[in-house]
Amino acid sequence: MKIWAIVLLTAAAVCAKHEKYIGWKSYIVQPSTLEQVKALHLLEPTLELDFLSHATTSREGVVLVKPEHQADFIAALAKLEVEYKVHAENIKEKLDYDDFLIERRNREIRARNGRSLPYDNYQTLEAIDAYLDEIAAKYPDTVTLVEPAKSFEGRTIKYLKISTTNFEDDSKPVIFIDGGIHSREWISPPTVTYAIHKLTEDVTDPDLLDNFDWIILPIVNPDGYKYSHDTDRFWRKTRSTDQHTLGFFCPGVDGNRNYDFAWNTAGTSNNPCTEIFAGSKPLSEIETQVVAEIMKTYLPRMTLYLTMHSFGSMILYPWGHDGSLSQQALALHTVGINMAEAIHERALPNFPRYQVGNSALVIQYAAAGAAEDYAHSLGVPLSYTYELPGLSRDMWGFHLDPAYIPQVCEETWAGIIVGARRSRELFG
């Protein structure tokens, strides 16, 4: 059967999906001045813009725009003299095609290996949970499955503790990696589950097991992740409905604005219907409470915290709430560069180079209540947000072809290895 015929058949099968996005478009915007960057953010509430990646003077951004605001958006860009071009002309069609690519890749992998794993395709929550259960059962000497709480909607939040000494050797640094707090950033969980794979099923660097204890939480926000798969591909927040009186109309909190440091002071909104609603109070969400509890429990030994997001090819460090530098700025910057260099050695030539720096300075936008700032405020010396790559030929963003997932996992793992080793040298 011809490829186009398969595409059409698959598209027909899933046409009921993504209907919300009929008529929506995404645009690439390239501001050339800081004033233009700020002006773009000011358009956000009135035109209900959704920045899938932030635009800066050195990196173009991608914005999702509803049909009813597209004419005003174009007019505003013209007035501001901001360069733009259409990124995806028809979001629903694009999402249908993304589904086709994922399903095709699942079929190919099943034909080759018998099963598709969480780090070789975009997988369902159920598949990722099953993988964690399986690894814990298969490697009982080193792996402990922890189920610390239920999500707002009652799903079990799961993470793995990986240690050759059952976390009893106090001299070992603890490395904590999480993913999936922003549910639509689907490239995040594969890089986190790949770390599990490299610490259990395919150990090529035994010092990482001998010298460290690991805590790995692939999906911080299972409700949002499930919703992004089943109902709304661009769902970013949690799914809580108890944060304000309009909870059932505009559910959810931006988990990465909900942490208890400089909470709700910058880059957030009190409007619960926006993508950057910070919640009714710090750590209002059970999902962020779980992350905070892990940090506090292992704080004396935690030398490195990484939280995986997408997209933009950036390694970002505190303080993101105001752009100031912490007392560990030199270590944060040098280890950030070390990780980026390790990634570059394995990156594809058409992937953008990583940018490394203070969150607020690199993205030219301060945002408070983020996990990276919170971990650092508690005392984790090296704390970073990874904005993973989003390039697939000429199509940026959340439409990254799943064929690129192994590449992104492998290069990201190279960065993690270097980050862990450097954290032990400096703070272990």
Which residues bind to Zn ion, rule: CB under 5 A? 182, 309
Closest separation in Å from C-beta 181 to Zn ion: 7
Shortest approach of Zn ion to residue 165 CB, angstroms?
33
Hey, which residues are catalytic here?
Answer: 387
Question: Is 423:381 a contact under the CB 8 Å cutoff?
Answer: yes
CB-nearer residue toward Zn ion: 56 or 116: 56
392 pairs with which residues across the strands?
A: 395
Q: How far is the CB of 237 from Zn ion (least distance, A)?
A: 11
> What's the CA gap between 10 and 2, in Å, rounded?
12
Nearest distance, CB of residue 255 and Zn ion, angstroms? 9
Q: For residues 182 and 198, which CB has a smaller minimum distance to Zn ion in the complex?
A: 182
Cα(368)–Cα(374) distance, integer angstroms: 9
- Selection from 118, 143, 147 nearest residue 294 by Cα: 147
Which of these, 325, 427, 322, lies nearest to 370 by C-alpha position? 322
Which distant-in-sequence residues (6+ apart) come within 8 Å of 14 by Cβ? 96, 99, 100
Minimum CB distance to Zn ion smaller for 298 or for 374? 374
Phi-psi region of 212 (alpha: psi -120 to 50; beta: other; left: phi over 0): beta
Structure tokens at 149: 């709480």
Closest to Zn ion by CB, 87 vs 257, is 257
C-alpha dihedral, 309 to 312 to 316 to 320, nearest 10°: -80
CB of 182 to Zn ion, least distance (A): 3
- Amino acid occupying residue 149: A
Nearest to 103 by CA among 85, 78, 121: 121
Structure token digits, residue 98:
């993304």
Cα 303 to Cα 192: distance, rounded to the nearest angstrom: 18
Q: Is the peptide bond before 311 cis (omega within 30 degrees of 0)?
A: yes
Question: CB of 12: closest distance to Zn ion in angstroms?
Answer: 33
CB of 387 to Zn ion, least distance (A): 7
Token pair, residue 188, equals 């995040």
CB-wise, 21 or 398, nearer to Zn ion? 398
- What spatial distance separates the first Cα and last Cα of the chain, rounded to whole Å? 57
Cα separation, 100 vs 54, in Å, equals 28
Report the distance separating Cα 201 and Cα 207, nearest Å.
15
Q: What is the per-residue burial (b if ≥16 Cβ within 10 Å, else e) of 267-277?
A: bbbeebebbbb
Q: Which one, 213 or 372, has the nearer CB to Zn ion?
A: 372
CB of 339 to Zn ion, least distance (A): 18
Instruction: Give the three-class secondary structure for 115.
Output: coil
Q: Which is nearer to Zn ion, 283 or 308 (CB)?
A: 308
Cβ burial, residue 22 (10 Å; 0-12/13-18/19+):
exposed
Between 54 and 172, name the residue whose CB sits nearer to Zn ion.
54
